[in-house]
Amino acid sequence: MSVTIVEHPLAAHFMLVLRDRTTSPATFRTVTKKLTTLLMLEATKDLSTRATSVRTPLEETTGRSLAAPIVAVPILRAGLGMLDSVVELFPEVRVGYIGLERDEATFQASEYYAKLPVLHDARTFVLDPMLATGGSASAAIESVKQAGAASVRMVSVVAAPEGIDILQRDHPDVDIIAGARDRELNDNAYILPGLGDFGDRLFGTQA
């Protein structure tokens, strides 16, 4: 497993906007989409390509095209905030969904919904903005593997050391790409310094 933190001036700027408690839901959604673009560019920089020829308006020329399909699997509901960016970058992307509910007492995740496309021939990217305890991410990765995914990467906005450790234990073959590696989890399993409840901030459902 490798853990890659995207170090780009725009990524740092977008991360600070997301952390700011005064950021509105509309701005939060827009910045999430922009940051996800940077994360996905890093996560896909080693995609395999094949030689392809096309005819321009003037002559025939050769170039490279993607050699294998892409699958994006957001973890509901917060992962939906990252999906639009992936669809724009890869219009032919196959999209699956996994719904996981966390027990607030044990912090354990249980699956309540899964709808996945064909995975065995594709590079699969699991999208979850907050890699906190790692329970949801590990369960989602296990689901896509059982459905046939052979190549999986985890893409998150923020990752906590505890979540990284869990994925290292459960899925050492899965690389992590994130916008930040934060300090720790608090007693309620929220990432510190973090940015609060991602889903609530994304959809404007904060109390």
Active site residue 200: yes
Among 43, 64, 45, CA closest to 53 = 64
Please tell me the distance from the alpha carbon of residue 11 to that of residue 180, in angstroms, as a whole number: 9
CB-CB contact of 40 with 85 (8 Å): yes
Among 22, 74, 65, CA closest to 47 = 65
> How many of the other CB atoms lie within 10 Å of CB of 2?
8
Q: ∠90-93-99 over CA atoms, to 5°?
A: 125
Please tell me the distance from the alpha carbon of residue 132 to that of residue 197, in angstroms, as a whole number: 11
Whole-number Cα distances in Å, 24 to 31, 143, 156, 173, 197: 11, 34, 21, 37, 13
CB-CB contact of 138 with 126 (8 Å): no
Distance of CA 38 to the CA centre of its chain: 11
Catalytic residue among 77, 94, 102, 181: 102
Catalytic residue among 4, 77, 94, 197: 197
Active site residue 197: yes
Extract the tokens encoding 82. Answer: 């990252």
Catalytic residue among 106, 121, 173, 205: 106
Catalytic positions are: 102, 106, 197, 200
